[in-house]
Chain A
Amino acid sequence: MANDALALVDHLFRRQAGQMVATLTRTLGSRHLTLAEDAVQEALLTAMQQWPFRGVPDNPEAWLFRVARNRALDRLRHGKMAADKEPAIARESATVEWPSVAPLLREELPAVEDDQLGLLFLTCHPAVPADARVALALKLAGGFSVGEIARAFLSQESTIAQRLVRAKRALRDGNISFGMPEPHELAERLDSVIDALYLMFNEGYAATAGDQLVRDAVAFEAIRLARMLAAHPATVCPRVYALLALMLLHAARFPARVDSEGTLFLLREQDRGKWDRAAIAEGMRALDAAAAGDTVTALHLEAGIAACHAAVPSWEATDWPRIVELYDELFALTASPVVAVNRAIAVSRIEGPLAGLAALEAIENAAALERYPLLPAIQAELWREAGDLERAAACYRVALGLARSSPEHRWLTSRLSLLV
Protein backbone atom coordinates (compact mmCIF):
# COMPACT_ATOMS: atom_id res chain seq x y z
CA MET A 1 0.00 0.00 0.00
CA ALA A 2 2.42 2.62 1.17
CA ASN A 3 4.63 4.03 -1.48
CA ASP A 4 6.20 7.15 -0.10
CA ALA A 5 8.51 7.61 -3.03
CA LEU A 6 5.55 8.26 -5.31
CA ALA A 7 5.13 11.90 -6.18
CA LEU A 8 1.59 12.68 -7.26
CA VAL A 9 1.16 13.86 -10.83
CA ASP A 10 0.49 17.61 -11.09
CA HIS A 11 -3.20 18.41 -10.69
CA LEU A 12 -4.01 14.71 -10.39
CA PHE A 13 -6.76 15.45 -7.87
CA ARG A 14 -8.33 18.16 -10.01
CA ARG A 15 -8.31 15.93 -13.09
CA GLN A 16 -9.52 12.96 -11.15
CA ALA A 17 -12.30 15.00 -9.50
CA GLY A 18 -13.69 16.01 -12.91
CA GLN A 19 -13.37 12.47 -14.19
CA MET A 20 -15.10 10.94 -11.17
CA VAL A 21 -17.96 13.46 -11.20
CA ALA A 22 -18.41 12.68 -14.91
CA THR A 23 -18.44 8.91 -14.46
CA LEU A 24 -20.70 8.94 -11.40
CA THR A 25 -23.12 11.34 -13.08
CA ARG A 26 -23.27 9.16 -16.17
CA THR A 27 -24.01 6.12 -14.00
CA LEU A 28 -26.48 7.76 -11.64
CA GLY A 29 -28.15 10.18 -14.04
CA SER A 30 -27.82 13.93 -14.13
CA ARG A 31 -30.48 14.40 -11.43
CA HIS A 32 -27.91 13.02 -9.00
CA LEU A 33 -25.23 15.48 -10.07
CA THR A 34 -24.94 16.99 -6.59
CA LEU A 35 -24.74 13.57 -4.97
CA ALA A 36 -21.90 12.68 -7.34
CA GLU A 37 -20.15 15.95 -6.58
CA ASP A 38 -20.44 15.44 -2.81
CA ALA A 39 -19.25 11.84 -3.00
CA VAL A 40 -16.18 12.92 -4.97
CA GLN A 41 -15.32 15.70 -2.53
CA GLU A 42 -15.65 13.23 0.35
CA ALA A 43 -13.30 10.81 -1.38
CA LEU A 44 -10.67 13.53 -1.79
CA LEU A 45 -11.03 14.55 1.86
CA THR A 46 -10.71 10.91 2.94
CA ALA A 47 -7.44 10.71 1.02
CA MET A 48 -6.26 13.82 2.82
CA GLN A 49 -7.01 12.21 6.18
CA GLN A 50 -5.49 8.82 5.39
CA TRP A 51 -2.59 9.19 2.98
CA PRO A 52 -0.38 11.30 5.27
CA PHE A 53 -0.30 8.34 7.68
CA ARG A 54 -0.66 5.31 5.44
CA GLY A 55 1.23 6.61 2.44
CA VAL A 56 0.05 7.21 -1.11
CA PRO A 57 -1.56 4.07 -2.57
CA ASP A 58 0.05 2.41 -5.58
CA ASN A 59 -2.84 3.38 -7.84
CA PRO A 60 -4.20 6.66 -6.46
CA GLU A 61 -6.78 7.06 -9.24
CA ALA A 62 -8.35 3.67 -8.60
CA TRP A 63 -8.27 4.26 -4.83
CA LEU A 64 -10.07 7.59 -5.17
CA PHE A 65 -12.64 6.20 -7.58
CA ARG A 66 -13.39 3.24 -5.32
CA VAL A 67 -13.94 5.49 -2.31
CA ALA A 68 -16.07 7.97 -4.27
CA ARG A 69 -18.18 5.17 -5.67
CA ASN A 70 -18.69 3.67 -2.22
CA ARG A 71 -19.68 7.06 -0.81
CA ALA A 72 -22.21 7.49 -3.62
CA LEU A 73 -23.61 4.02 -2.94
CA ASP A 74 -23.88 4.75 0.79
CA ARG A 75 -25.78 7.91 0.10
CA LEU A 76 -28.11 6.21 -2.37
CA ARG A 77 -28.89 3.41 0.05
CA HIS A 78 -29.40 5.90 2.82
CA GLY A 79 -31.70 7.90 0.56
CA LYS A 80 -33.70 4.80 -0.28
CA MET A 81 -34.08 3.91 3.36
CA ALA A 82 -35.13 7.42 4.21
CA ALA A 83 -37.65 7.28 1.39
CA ASP A 84 -39.08 4.04 2.80
CA LYS A 85 -39.32 5.33 6.36
CA GLU A 86 -40.45 8.87 5.90
CA PRO A 87 -43.86 9.16 4.29
CA ALA A 88 -43.36 12.84 3.54
CA ILE A 89 -40.08 12.28 1.76
CA ALA A 90 -41.55 9.23 0.09
CA ARG A 91 -44.41 11.28 -1.33
CA GLU A 92 -42.06 13.93 -2.56
CA SER A 93 -39.73 11.42 -4.09
CA ALA A 94 -42.45 9.12 -5.41
CA THR A 95 -41.61 10.28 -8.90
CA VAL A 96 -37.89 9.99 -8.37
CA GLU A 97 -36.48 6.85 -9.81
CA TRP A 98 -33.60 5.57 -7.78
CA PRO A 99 -30.88 4.58 -10.18
CA SER A 100 -29.69 1.05 -10.28
CA VAL A 101 -26.52 0.62 -8.29
CA ALA A 102 -25.41 -2.37 -10.34
CA PRO A 103 -23.17 -0.44 -12.77
CA LEU A 104 -21.47 1.23 -9.83
CA LEU A 105 -20.45 -2.07 -8.33
CA ARG A 106 -18.11 -2.87 -11.18
CA GLU A 107 -14.48 -2.36 -10.27
CA GLU A 108 -12.92 -1.16 -13.48
CA LEU A 109 -12.25 2.45 -14.31
CA PRO A 110 -14.54 3.50 -17.10
CA ALA A 111 -13.85 4.98 -20.51
CA VAL A 112 -12.73 8.45 -19.64
CA GLU A 113 -13.10 10.80 -22.59
CA ASP A 114 -16.74 10.07 -23.33
CA ASP A 115 -17.73 10.76 -19.75
CA GLN A 116 -15.79 14.00 -19.57
CA LEU A 117 -17.28 15.25 -22.84
CA GLY A 118 -20.72 14.18 -21.64
CA LEU A 119 -20.24 16.28 -18.53
CA LEU A 120 -18.95 19.21 -20.60
CA PHE A 121 -22.04 19.10 -22.82
CA LEU A 122 -24.21 18.96 -19.70
CA THR A 123 -22.60 22.01 -18.09
CA CYS A 124 -22.81 24.03 -21.33
CA HIS A 125 -26.38 22.99 -22.11
CA PRO A 126 -28.50 25.86 -23.51
CA ALA A 127 -30.87 25.37 -20.53
CA VAL A 128 -28.09 26.55 -18.20
CA PRO A 129 -27.97 30.36 -17.91
CA ALA A 130 -25.20 31.59 -20.20
CA ASP A 131 -23.31 33.37 -17.42
CA ALA A 132 -23.18 30.15 -15.38
CA ARG A 133 -21.89 27.70 -17.99
CA VAL A 134 -18.20 28.50 -17.62
CA ALA A 135 -18.39 28.42 -13.83
CA LEU A 136 -20.27 25.11 -13.87
CA ALA A 137 -17.82 23.57 -16.34
CA LEU A 138 -14.88 24.68 -14.22
CA LYS A 139 -16.50 23.38 -11.04
CA LEU A 140 -17.61 19.99 -12.31
CA ALA A 141 -15.42 19.07 -15.28
CA GLY A 142 -12.36 21.02 -14.18
CA GLY A 143 -12.32 20.29 -10.45
CA PHE A 144 -11.99 23.95 -9.41
CA SER A 145 -13.40 25.12 -6.08
CA VAL A 146 -15.89 27.96 -5.76
CA GLY A 147 -13.13 30.10 -4.24
CA GLU A 148 -10.77 29.46 -7.13
CA ILE A 149 -13.44 30.29 -9.71
CA ALA A 150 -14.26 33.47 -7.81
CA ARG A 151 -10.59 34.48 -7.82
CA ALA A 152 -10.30 33.84 -11.56
CA PHE A 153 -13.50 35.81 -12.28
CA LEU A 154 -12.77 38.59 -9.77
CA SER A 155 -16.16 37.83 -8.25
CA GLN A 156 -17.42 37.23 -4.76
CA GLU A 157 -17.60 33.58 -3.76
CA SER A 158 -21.27 34.03 -2.92
CA THR A 159 -21.94 35.27 -6.46
CA ILE A 160 -20.32 32.21 -8.00
CA ALA A 161 -22.06 29.89 -5.52
CA GLN A 162 -25.45 31.36 -6.43
CA ARG A 163 -24.67 31.04 -10.11
CA LEU A 164 -23.84 27.36 -9.62
CA VAL A 165 -27.05 26.74 -7.67
CA ARG A 166 -29.11 28.37 -10.45
CA ALA A 167 -27.29 26.31 -13.07
CA LYS A 168 -27.88 23.03 -11.30
CA ARG A 169 -31.52 23.89 -10.69
CA ALA A 170 -31.92 24.62 -14.41
CA LEU A 171 -30.47 21.22 -15.26
CA ARG A 172 -32.75 19.47 -12.79
CA ASP A 173 -35.89 21.38 -13.79
CA GLY A 174 -35.14 20.89 -17.45
CA ASN A 175 -34.64 17.18 -16.85
CA ILE A 176 -31.50 17.38 -18.97
CA SER A 177 -29.93 14.00 -19.50
CA PHE A 178 -26.25 13.23 -19.33
CA GLY A 179 -24.25 12.34 -22.39
CA MET A 180 -23.27 13.32 -25.88
CA PRO A 181 -26.02 15.18 -27.77
CA GLU A 182 -28.13 13.45 -30.40
CA PRO A 183 -26.83 13.97 -33.95
CA HIS A 184 -29.62 16.39 -34.90
CA GLU A 185 -28.77 18.76 -32.04
CA LEU A 186 -25.02 18.27 -32.05
CA ALA A 187 -24.13 21.40 -34.07
CA GLU A 188 -26.07 23.74 -31.78
CA ARG A 189 -24.89 22.07 -28.58
CA LEU A 190 -21.30 22.13 -29.83
CA ASP A 191 -21.58 25.86 -30.52
CA SER A 192 -22.65 26.37 -26.93
CA VAL A 193 -19.62 24.40 -25.70
CA ILE A 194 -17.23 26.26 -28.03
CA ASP A 195 -18.56 29.62 -26.81
CA ALA A 196 -18.14 28.59 -23.19
CA LEU A 197 -14.57 27.35 -23.73
CA TYR A 198 -13.71 30.58 -25.56
CA LEU A 199 -14.99 32.57 -22.56
CA MET A 200 -13.19 30.26 -20.17
CA PHE A 201 -9.92 30.80 -22.00
CA ASN A 202 -10.42 34.56 -22.01
CA GLU A 203 -11.07 34.58 -18.26
CA GLY A 204 -7.67 33.02 -17.86
CA TYR A 205 -5.90 34.82 -20.68
CA ALA A 206 -6.89 38.42 -20.05
CA ALA A 207 -4.11 39.30 -17.63
CA THR A 208 -6.03 42.17 -16.16
CA ALA A 209 -6.14 41.25 -12.52
CA GLY A 210 -6.42 38.61 -9.91
CA ASP A 211 -4.59 35.50 -8.99
CA GLN A 212 -2.28 34.77 -11.93
CA LEU A 213 -1.75 31.13 -11.02
CA VAL A 214 -5.41 30.30 -10.97
CA ARG A 215 -6.04 32.32 -14.14
CA ASP A 216 -3.36 30.37 -16.01
CA ALA A 217 -4.92 27.16 -14.70
CA VAL A 218 -8.30 28.25 -16.07
CA ALA A 219 -6.80 28.98 -19.50
CA PHE A 220 -5.05 25.60 -19.58
CA GLU A 221 -8.25 23.87 -18.53
CA ALA A 222 -9.99 25.43 -21.57
CA ILE A 223 -7.17 24.09 -23.76
CA ARG A 224 -7.44 20.62 -22.24
CA LEU A 225 -11.17 20.49 -22.90
CA ALA A 226 -10.74 21.82 -26.46
CA ARG A 227 -8.13 19.14 -27.11
CA MET A 228 -10.66 16.54 -26.01
CA LEU A 229 -13.23 17.95 -28.45
CA ALA A 230 -10.62 17.81 -31.23
CA ALA A 231 -9.70 14.23 -30.37
CA HIS A 232 -13.24 12.84 -30.33
CA PRO A 233 -14.74 11.64 -33.63
CA ALA A 234 -18.18 13.02 -32.76
CA THR A 235 -17.02 16.55 -32.02
CA VAL A 236 -13.96 17.14 -34.16
CA CYS A 237 -14.64 19.80 -36.82
CA PRO A 238 -12.95 22.91 -38.30
CA ARG A 239 -14.48 25.25 -35.68
CA VAL A 240 -13.06 23.14 -32.85
CA TYR A 241 -9.65 23.19 -34.50
CA ALA A 242 -9.88 26.97 -34.94
CA LEU A 243 -10.71 27.33 -31.23
CA LEU A 244 -7.82 25.10 -30.25
CA ALA A 245 -5.42 26.95 -32.57
CA LEU A 246 -6.47 30.31 -31.18
CA MET A 247 -5.95 29.19 -27.58
CA LEU A 248 -2.61 27.50 -28.18
CA LEU A 249 -1.14 30.38 -30.18
CA HIS A 250 -2.06 32.84 -27.45
CA ALA A 251 -1.03 30.56 -24.60
CA ALA A 252 2.38 30.10 -26.22
CA ARG A 253 3.14 33.67 -25.15
CA PHE A 254 2.22 33.15 -21.45
CA PRO A 255 5.84 32.61 -20.36
CA ALA A 256 6.91 35.96 -21.87
CA ARG A 257 3.92 38.02 -20.83
CA VAL A 258 4.62 38.79 -17.18
CA ASP A 259 7.92 38.74 -15.27
CA SER A 260 8.45 37.51 -11.72
CA GLU A 261 7.49 40.94 -10.35
CA GLY A 262 4.20 40.85 -12.23
CA THR A 263 5.22 43.49 -14.79
CA LEU A 264 3.31 43.19 -18.06
CA PHE A 265 5.15 43.06 -21.36
CA LEU A 266 3.58 44.14 -24.62
CA LEU A 267 3.89 41.88 -27.60
CA ARG A 268 6.56 44.20 -28.99
CA GLU A 269 8.66 43.99 -25.83
CA GLN A 270 8.35 40.27 -25.22
CA ASP A 271 11.38 38.02 -25.34
CA ARG A 272 10.24 35.69 -28.13
CA GLY A 273 12.81 33.16 -27.00
CA LYS A 274 10.50 32.48 -24.06
CA TRP A 275 7.56 31.60 -26.26
CA ASP A 276 6.45 28.00 -26.03
CA ARG A 277 7.55 26.47 -29.35
CA ALA A 278 5.63 23.23 -28.78
CA ALA A 279 2.40 25.15 -28.25
CA ILE A 280 3.04 27.19 -31.40
CA ALA A 281 3.68 24.03 -33.44
CA GLU A 282 0.51 22.37 -32.13
CA GLY A 283 -1.44 25.59 -32.73
CA MET A 284 -0.20 25.83 -36.33
CA ARG A 285 -1.19 22.21 -36.99
CA ALA A 286 -4.64 22.91 -35.54
CA LEU A 287 -4.94 26.00 -37.74
CA ASP A 288 -4.15 23.90 -40.82
CA ALA A 289 -6.82 21.43 -39.81
CA ALA A 290 -9.27 24.30 -39.21
CA ALA A 291 -8.88 25.40 -42.84
CA ALA A 292 -10.45 22.13 -44.02
CA GLY A 293 -13.97 23.56 -43.82
CA ASP A 294 -15.66 25.95 -46.25
CA THR A 295 -16.77 28.53 -43.67
CA VAL A 296 -14.57 31.12 -42.04
CA THR A 297 -15.65 31.95 -38.49
CA ALA A 298 -14.44 34.67 -36.13
CA LEU A 299 -12.42 31.94 -34.41
CA HIS A 300 -10.59 31.21 -37.66
CA LEU A 301 -9.74 34.89 -38.14
CA GLU A 302 -8.61 35.40 -34.55
CA ALA A 303 -6.47 32.28 -34.77
CA GLY A 304 -5.05 33.56 -38.07
CA ILE A 305 -4.02 36.84 -36.44
CA ALA A 306 -2.43 35.03 -33.51
CA ALA A 307 -0.57 32.86 -36.03
CA CYS A 308 0.81 35.94 -37.83
CA HIS A 309 2.49 36.97 -34.59
CA ALA A 310 3.59 33.50 -33.58
CA ALA A 311 5.16 32.80 -36.97
CA VAL A 312 7.71 35.60 -37.04
CA PRO A 313 10.93 35.88 -35.05
CA SER A 314 10.64 39.59 -34.26
CA TRP A 315 8.19 42.46 -33.96
CA GLU A 316 9.85 44.10 -36.99
CA ALA A 317 9.15 41.07 -39.17
CA THR A 318 5.38 41.21 -38.54
CA ASP A 319 3.20 41.02 -41.66
CA TRP A 320 1.00 44.03 -40.81
CA PRO A 321 -0.88 44.25 -44.14
CA ARG A 322 -2.02 40.65 -43.69
CA ILE A 323 -3.09 41.41 -40.10
CA VAL A 324 -5.10 44.46 -41.20
CA GLU A 325 -6.85 42.26 -43.79
CA LEU A 326 -7.76 39.73 -41.14
CA TYR A 327 -9.02 42.46 -38.79
CA ASP A 328 -11.12 43.90 -41.62
CA GLU A 329 -12.75 40.51 -42.16
CA LEU A 330 -13.21 40.08 -38.42
CA PHE A 331 -14.80 43.51 -38.05
CA ALA A 332 -17.18 42.71 -40.94
CA LEU A 333 -18.28 39.62 -38.96
CA THR A 334 -18.43 41.04 -35.45
CA ALA A 335 -18.62 44.86 -35.66
CA SER A 336 -16.80 44.82 -32.31
CA PRO A 337 -15.15 48.06 -31.14
CA VAL A 338 -12.38 46.01 -29.51
CA VAL A 339 -11.60 44.56 -32.94
CA ALA A 340 -11.57 48.10 -34.35
CA VAL A 341 -9.04 49.19 -31.71
CA ASN A 342 -6.73 46.36 -32.61
CA ARG A 343 -7.16 47.06 -36.31
CA ALA A 344 -6.14 50.69 -35.70
CA ILE A 345 -2.89 49.52 -34.08
CA ALA A 346 -2.12 47.38 -37.12
CA VAL A 347 -2.88 50.36 -39.39
CA SER A 348 -0.45 52.53 -37.40
CA ARG A 349 2.32 49.96 -38.05
CA ILE A 350 1.91 50.46 -41.79
CA GLU A 351 0.88 54.11 -42.18
CA GLY A 352 2.31 55.64 -39.01
CA PRO A 353 0.96 56.73 -35.61
CA LEU A 354 -1.23 59.55 -36.92
CA ALA A 355 -3.11 57.17 -39.22
CA GLY A 356 -3.63 54.87 -36.24
CA LEU A 357 -4.95 57.76 -34.14
CA ALA A 358 -7.31 58.75 -36.93
CA ALA A 359 -8.65 55.20 -37.09
CA LEU A 360 -9.17 55.26 -33.33
CA GLU A 361 -11.08 58.55 -33.43
CA ALA A 362 -13.88 56.85 -35.32
CA ILE A 363 -14.56 54.48 -32.44
CA GLU A 364 -13.55 56.57 -29.45
CA ASN A 365 -17.10 57.06 -28.27
CA ALA A 366 -18.22 53.46 -28.43
CA ALA A 367 -20.00 52.76 -25.15
CA ALA A 368 -18.39 49.34 -24.84
CA LEU A 369 -14.98 50.98 -24.57
CA GLU A 370 -15.76 53.56 -21.91
CA ARG A 371 -14.12 51.60 -19.10
CA TYR A 372 -11.47 50.01 -21.31
CA PRO A 373 -8.03 51.31 -20.25
CA LEU A 374 -6.40 49.86 -23.33
CA LEU A 375 -7.89 52.52 -25.63
CA PRO A 376 -6.32 55.59 -23.95
CA ALA A 377 -3.13 53.56 -23.35
CA ILE A 378 -2.86 52.87 -27.07
CA GLN A 379 -3.62 56.48 -27.92
CA ALA A 380 -0.85 57.48 -25.51
CA GLU A 381 1.62 55.14 -27.20
CA LEU A 382 0.72 56.51 -30.62
CA TRP A 383 1.01 60.15 -29.49
CA ARG A 384 4.40 59.31 -28.02
CA GLU A 385 5.50 57.81 -31.32
CA ALA A 386 4.17 60.87 -33.12
CA GLY A 387 6.32 63.01 -30.81
CA ASP A 388 3.49 64.75 -28.92
CA LEU A 389 4.56 63.93 -25.36
CA GLU A 390 2.00 66.19 -23.70
CA ARG A 391 -0.94 64.47 -25.31
CA ALA A 392 0.69 61.12 -24.64
CA ALA A 393 0.97 61.93 -20.92
CA ALA A 394 -2.65 63.09 -20.78
CA CYS A 395 -3.82 59.82 -22.34
CA TYR A 396 -1.70 57.75 -19.94
CA ARG A 397 -3.35 59.57 -17.03
CA VAL A 398 -6.80 58.72 -18.39
CA ALA A 399 -5.71 55.09 -18.75
CA LEU A 400 -4.34 55.05 -15.20
CA GLY A 401 -7.73 56.13 -13.94
CA LEU A 402 -9.26 53.06 -15.60
CA ALA A 403 -6.55 50.54 -14.69
CA ARG A 404 -8.05 47.33 -13.29
CA SER A 405 -5.06 45.63 -11.72
CA SER A 406 -1.72 46.30 -10.11
CA PRO A 407 0.31 45.00 -13.10
CA GLU A 408 -1.67 47.33 -15.41
CA HIS A 409 -1.21 50.19 -12.99
CA ARG A 410 2.51 49.53 -12.68
CA TRP A 411 2.93 49.30 -16.43
CA LEU A 412 1.09 52.56 -17.12
CA THR A 413 3.01 54.36 -14.36
CA SER A 414 6.32 53.23 -15.82
CA ARG A 415 5.24 54.37 -19.30
CA LEU A 416 4.22 57.74 -17.93
CA SER A 417 7.51 58.14 -16.09
CA LEU A 418 9.43 57.53 -19.33
CA LEU A 419 7.89 60.68 -20.77
CA VAL A 420 9.06 63.09 -18.06
Chain B
Amino acid sequence: MKKFIMLLHDAGFPDDISPDQIQAIIQRYVAWRQKIQANGRKVDGHKLTDGEGRVMRGASGATKVTDGPYAEAREVIGGLFIVEANNYDEVVELSKDCPHLDFGSIEIREVQPT
Protein backbone atom coordinates (compact mmCIF):
# COMPACT_ATOMS: atom_id res chain seq x y z
CA MET B 1 0.00 0.00 0.00
CA LYS B 2 1.18 3.47 -0.83
CA LYS B 3 0.30 6.67 0.93
CA PHE B 4 -1.51 9.52 -0.70
CA ILE B 5 -2.19 13.04 0.52
CA MET B 6 -5.51 14.65 -0.33
CA LEU B 7 -5.30 18.43 -0.02
CA LEU B 8 -8.76 19.96 0.32
CA HIS B 9 -8.92 23.44 -1.17
CA ASP B 10 -11.88 25.42 0.14
CA ALA B 11 -13.93 27.44 -2.25
CA GLY B 12 -16.23 28.70 0.49
CA PHE B 13 -19.60 27.73 1.85
CA PRO B 14 -22.90 29.51 1.23
CA ASP B 15 -23.82 32.53 3.35
CA ASP B 16 -26.80 32.25 5.70
CA ILE B 17 -26.12 28.57 6.16
CA SER B 18 -28.46 27.10 8.78
CA PRO B 19 -27.50 24.89 11.74
CA ASP B 20 -29.32 21.97 10.08
CA GLN B 21 -27.35 22.46 6.87
CA ILE B 22 -24.05 22.72 8.76
CA GLN B 23 -24.81 19.48 10.57
CA ALA B 24 -25.75 17.78 7.31
CA ILE B 25 -22.42 18.80 5.74
CA ILE B 26 -20.44 17.43 8.69
CA GLN B 27 -22.40 14.19 8.54
CA ARG B 28 -21.59 13.76 4.87
CA TYR B 29 -17.85 14.01 5.58
CA VAL B 30 -18.15 11.60 8.50
CA ALA B 31 -20.11 9.13 6.37
CA TRP B 32 -17.59 9.38 3.54
CA ARG B 33 -14.72 8.64 5.89
CA GLN B 34 -16.57 5.76 7.54
CA LYS B 35 -17.23 4.21 4.16
CA ILE B 36 -13.53 4.22 3.31
CA GLN B 37 -12.57 2.88 6.72
CA ALA B 38 -15.19 0.15 6.47
CA ASN B 39 -13.16 -1.27 3.58
CA GLY B 40 -10.14 -1.64 5.87
CA ARG B 41 -8.36 1.48 4.66
CA LYS B 42 -6.74 3.86 7.11
CA VAL B 43 -7.61 7.57 6.82
CA ASP B 44 -5.90 10.29 8.82
CA GLY B 45 -7.25 13.82 8.81
CA HIS B 46 -5.66 17.09 9.74
CA LYS B 47 -7.20 20.52 9.88
CA LEU B 48 -4.81 23.28 8.85
CA THR B 49 -4.99 26.62 10.58
CA ASP B 50 -6.80 29.34 8.69
CA GLY B 51 -4.74 31.83 6.74
CA GLU B 52 -2.24 31.54 3.96
CA GLY B 53 0.87 30.12 5.59
CA ARG B 54 4.38 30.98 4.41
CA VAL B 55 6.46 30.11 1.38
CA MET B 56 10.23 30.24 1.69
CA ARG B 57 12.63 30.52 -1.23
CA GLY B 58 16.37 30.44 -0.90
CA ALA B 59 17.93 32.71 -3.53
CA SER B 60 21.73 33.04 -3.69
CA GLY B 61 22.20 32.95 0.05
CA ALA B 62 19.27 35.23 0.92
CA THR B 63 16.13 33.48 2.08
CA LYS B 64 12.91 35.08 0.91
CA VAL B 65 9.69 34.50 2.86
CA THR B 66 6.28 35.26 1.36
CA ASP B 67 2.71 34.62 2.32
CA GLY B 68 1.14 31.98 0.26
CA PRO B 69 1.19 29.91 -1.71
CA TYR B 70 -2.36 30.73 -2.62
CA ALA B 71 -2.75 34.31 -1.44
CA GLU B 72 -3.41 35.68 -4.90
CA ALA B 73 -6.08 33.08 -5.64
CA ARG B 74 -7.81 33.80 -2.32
CA GLU B 75 -8.06 30.09 -1.94
CA VAL B 76 -6.97 28.25 1.16
CA ILE B 77 -6.31 24.64 1.98
CA GLY B 78 -8.75 23.81 4.75
CA GLY B 79 -7.22 20.51 5.66
CA LEU B 80 -5.83 17.26 4.40
CA PHE B 81 -6.47 13.55 4.49
CA ILE B 82 -3.84 10.85 4.24
CA VAL B 83 -5.17 7.61 2.72
CA GLU B 84 -3.68 4.29 1.82
CA ALA B 85 -4.13 3.06 -1.75
CA ASN B 86 -2.31 1.17 -4.49
CA ASN B 87 -2.39 3.90 -7.11
CA TYR B 88 -3.82 7.25 -8.15
CA ASP B 89 -6.82 5.64 -9.82
CA GLU B 90 -7.93 4.16 -6.52
CA VAL B 91 -7.66 7.49 -4.72
CA VAL B 92 -9.55 9.23 -7.50
CA GLU B 93 -12.25 6.60 -7.14
CA LEU B 94 -12.39 7.15 -3.35
CA SER B 95 -12.57 10.91 -3.82
CA LYS B 96 -15.42 10.86 -6.32
CA ASP B 97 -18.09 10.87 -3.64
CA CYS B 98 -16.17 13.07 -1.22
CA PRO B 99 -18.59 15.83 -0.17
CA HIS B 100 -15.78 18.34 -0.48
CA LEU B 101 -16.21 18.40 -4.24
CA ASP B 102 -19.43 20.35 -3.66
CA PHE B 103 -17.49 23.13 -1.97
CA GLY B 104 -14.02 23.15 -3.47
CA SER B 105 -11.35 21.05 -5.13
CA ILE B 106 -9.16 18.15 -4.04
CA GLU B 107 -5.48 17.88 -4.92
CA ILE B 108 -4.06 14.34 -4.69
CA ARG B 109 -0.32 13.69 -4.24
CA GLU B 110 1.42 10.40 -3.76
CA VAL B 111 3.97 10.15 -0.95
CA GLN B 112 7.23 8.76 -2.33
CA PRO B 113 7.78 5.39 -0.65
CA THR B 114 11.08 5.09 1.15
Contact = CB atoms under 8 A, between A and B. Distances in A.
Interface of A: 4-8, 11-14, 16-17, 44-45, 47-56, 143-148, 157, 217
Contacts of B47: 49-50, 53-54
B101 to A, nearest CB: 13
Interface in B16-70: 16-23, 25-27, 29-30, 33-34, 37, 45-47, 50
Given A7-B27, A13-B19, 5 more contacts: A8-B30, A53-B46, A54-B45, A55-B45, A145-B17
Chain B, interface size category, equals 20 to 34
A145 B18 contact: yes
B79 A52 contact: yes
B23 A8 contact: yes
Which of B22, B46, B47, B50 has most A Cβ within 10 Å?
B22
Contacts of A12: 23
A97 B21 CA distance: 36
A11 B30 contact: no
Contact of A17 (B13, B19, B33, B50): B19
8 contacts: A7-B30, A13-B20, A45-B22, A49-B79, A50-B47, A51-B29, A52-B100, A147-B18
B34 A11 contact: no
A56 B18 contact: no
B19 A145 contact: yes
A96 to B, nearest CB: 28
B26 A145 contact: no
A215 to B, nearest CB: 14
A148 B33 CA distance: 29
Nearest to A49: B78
Contacts of B30: 4, 6-8, 51-52, 55-56
A51 B26 contact: yes
B13 A48 contact: yes
A326 B23 CA distance: 44
Contacts of B17: 45, 145
A147 B23 contact: no
A147 to B, nearest CB: 5
A148 B17 CA distance: 9
Nearest to B37: A4
Contacts of A54: 45-47
A45 B18 CA distance: 10
Which of B19, B25, B30, B34 has most A Cβ within 10 Å?
B19
Contacts of B13: 45, 48
B83 to A, nearest CB: 13
Contacts of A16: 19
Which 7 A-B pairs rank lowest in CB-CB distance, beginning with the nearest? A145-B18, A52-B29, A53-B45, A13-B19, A13-B23, A53-B79, A53-B47
A47 B21 contact: no
Contacts of B27: 7-8
Contact of A143 (B18, B25, B26, B34): B18
Which of A7, A14, A51, A56 has most B Cβ within 10 Å?
A51
Contacts of A45: 13, 17, 22
A148 B18 contact: yes
A53 B26 contact: no
Contact of B26 (A5, A52, A147): A52
A420 to B, nearest CB: 44
B32 to A, nearest CB: 9
A147 B22 contact: no
Interface string B69-91: 00000000011110000000000
Nearest to A40: B19
Contacts of B25: 48
Contacts of B23: 8, 11-14
A146 B18 CA distance: 8
